[in-house]
Structure 1
Amino acid sequence: MSKLFFDLQATHNPHRWYLPITPEICVGPTGNQFMFGGVGMASAVAALERTAGRPLIWATAQYLGYARPGSVVDIDVWTPVEGKYNTQARSISHVDDKEIISVSAALGARESPFDSQWVEAPVVPKPEACPVRHHWRGSEEGVHSRMDVRFAKGRSGFDRDGAAEPDGRTILWARPKDDLAIDAAMLAVMADFVPQGVGNALGRNAGGNSLDNTLRIRRIVPTQWVLCDIRISGVAGGFAHGSMSLFAESGELMATASQSLIVRVRESAEDR
């Protein structure tokens, strides 16, 4: 098993896992940190893959609450249908009796002569030629400090004020700073970068709190960087909807993601 971005631990029960919540997997201002939603989904994905013994096909998460540093998230996995080629599964991540994230998923693989993609990676400069993203709050801890993110299209933080992207599109390169393989769990972490596109779409220092996230795996190939092509479909009533295509450096489409979120416009570094 590959090394993970987080410290997922097994128990004596093969259907139960646990995740200690430390500042390294959290976001938010000092004193009000909480587990990054992408880590919550990624830890469930890792638990599902390890329980089923099969690779992820798709997973959809609904975010129900927050897990704070110092707490422990228990992840319970059910596999009600185990077929010849795929397993239908679900998980509940909870702190004591408080549900944090529920995930439904399918896992498996089968032989097929077909291997094509019709979504092309955008033509953008290589990561080394793109500006490094600096977190708008100036945070030097948590998830954002552990990811190397370079913007190929769009801006970050207050640099987005008055500079809306007319097509609602943000394109960025991302990789973990630690020596970690790109797997389904790592793609699940990156899939939660969709809210970064909201600020560029609006031309404001904006993001949001995810309500859900769906990750669909096509094929994972070796790559150091992942090209995240984020498209915000629309914003209304205080909510936004967006999607992402995740490509390897070779242009291989590895996965797609989509989510809805509560829009948050940040007027100062103290705002969440």
Structure 2
Amino acid sequence: MDPLFFDLRPTHNPHRWFMPLTPAVCVGPPDNLFMFGGVGLASAIGAMERTTGRPLIWGTAQYLSYARPPSVVDLDVWTPAAGKHITQARVIGHVGDKEIFTVNAALGSRPSELSRQWLAMPDAPGPEDCDPADHWRGADHGLHSRIEVRVAKGRYGRERDGNPEADGRSLIWIRPRERFAVDASMLAVMADFVPSGIGNALGRNAGGNSLDNTLRVRRIVPTDWVLCDIRIHGVHGGFGHGAMYLFAQDGELMATASQSLIVRVREEAEDR
């Protein structure tokens, strides 16, 4: 398998993996870094695909707590049901005795000649025609320094403030600067950019902390950039809900994603 965006390592037990946390997979201010939620789902996908030898069909993560560098996240893979074509699996990610995330998933493939797509990639300028965008906190450290973002629709970073997007939608091109292959794990990292659409939709310096993250894989094809069609459905009571559709540059729908999150307006006190 191709190298991963994060440092996932095997143990003598084929059902246990571990991932040392460094700033390279973390977000937040330099003095208060924590693991990017998408890395939790992505690492679980990597562990499950390597344990079962099967590709991801869908996976959903529930985020329970924060993991901070330089701790080590252990990932225990459980496969309670394994059939001819499909394995039902679960991963518990923990630091010591503290559970950080739980991922449930199905993996496998079935022989079939059917391959259709009804959701079309939206019209958007290509990444070469879009200006690079920096994260609102800056892109000189942590995970965001390793991800290149170009905005095709909407606003990203500090340009959001005072400019609400009427349809709550944004289109951003994303690719890893280190040119890792786009696989299910890499798509899981990209899927956790749904909260970036909150500030665009509200026209505020806002984002959020993910409560969950679900990735459903259709068909992964070779591509350099991924067009992420982010749609914020609504916010209420301090929470928001949104979805993402992930397209290859040739228009292939590779995956869909959705999540709920705690809405954070940066001018407000951040109490969980």
| TM-score interval, normalised by the smaller of the two chains | over 0.9
What corresponds to 1:75 in structure 2?
Answer: 75
User: For structure 2, which runs of at least 5 residues remain unmatched after alignment?
Assistant: none
Q: Which residue of 1 aligns with 2:153?
A: 153
Write the distance in 2 (CA, Å) between the matches of 1:247 and 1:271.
Answer: 35
- The match for 2:34 is 34
Runs of 4+ in 1 over 3 A off after TM superposition: none
Q: Distance in 2 between matches of 1:207 and 1:271?
A: 14
How far, CA to CA, are the matches of 2:224 and 2:209 in structure 1? Answer: 28
Partners of 1:80 and 1:176 in 2: CA distance: 34
CA distance in 2, matches of 1:249, 1:218: 15
Alignment match, 2:253: 253
Q: Confirm or deny: 8 A CA contact 1:156 1:205 kept in the other structure.
A: no
1:166-211: CA deviation from partner (whole Å, max 9, x where unpaired):
0000100000000210000000000000001100110011100000
Deviation at 1:157, TM superposition (A): 2.1
- 1:271 CA displacement: 11
- Report the counterpart of residue 89 of structure 1 in structure 2: 89
Q: Give the match for residue 162 of structure 2.
A: 162
- Please give the alpha-carbon distance, in whole angstroms, between the structure 1 residues aligned to 2:29 and 2:104: 30
Contact 1:76 1:93 in 2 (8 A): yes
Moved more, 128-137 or 32-41: 128-137
* Change in CA separation of 1:258 and 1:229 when aligned onto 2, cut-off 3 Å: same
Q: State the Cα distance separating 1:139 from its structure 2 match.
A: 3.9
Question: In structure 2, how many angstroms separate the alpha carbons of the residues matched to 1:219 and 1:32?
Answer: 37
| Post-superposition offset of 1:238 | 0.3
Aligned residue type for 1:135: H
2:45 aligned residue: 45
Deviation at 1:161, TM superposition (A): 1.1
How far does the alpha carbon of each residue in 1:116-162 deviate from its partner, in whole angstroms, 9 at most, with x for none? 01111011001011111112122401110000110001112221111
Post-superposition shift, 1:104?
A: 0.2
Instruction: Provide the C-alpha distance between the structure 2 equivalents of 1:211 and 1:19, rounded to a whole number of angstroms.
Output: 21
Amino acid at match of 2:149: V
Matched letter for residue 47 of structure 2? A
Aligned counterpart, 1:121: 121
Distance in 2 of aligned mates of 1:135 and 1:245: 21
Question: 1:139/1:174 Cα in 2 relative to 1: closer, same or farther (>3 Å)?
Answer: closer
Q: Which runs of 5+ in 1 are unaligned?
A: none
Matched residue count = 271
Question: Which residue of 2 is the match for residue 199 of structure 1?
Answer: 199
CA distance in 2, matches of 1:24, 1:200: 26
Q: Counterparts of 1:57 and 1:271 in 2: how far apart (Å)?
A: 35
1:173 maps to 173
- What amino acid does structure 2 have at the position aligned with 1:233? H
Structure-2 separation of matches of 1:271 and 1:86: 41
Tell me, what secondary structure is at the counterpart of 1:197? helix
Q: Could you state the TM-score of these two structures normalised by the residue count of structure 1?
A: 0.97
Aligned to 1:185: 185
Q: Distance in 1 between the 2:194 and 2:139 partners?
A: 20
Going from structure 1 to structure 2, the CA distance change for 1:125 and 1:71 (only over 3 Å counts) comes to: same
**C-alpha displacement at 1:31, in angstroms?**
1.1
Identity %: 69
Contact 1:182/1:223 (8 A) holds in 2? yes
Structure 2 counterpart of 1:227: 227
Secondary structure at 1:51's aligned position in 2? helix
AA aligned opposite 1:200: N
Q: TM-score scaled to structure 2, two decimals?
A: 0.97
Q: Which amino acid aligns with 1:183?
A: D
1:130 aligns with 2:130: yes
Output the CA distance in 2 between the equivalents of 1:253 and 1:45. Answer: 19
Separation in 2, partners of 1:263, 1:75: 28
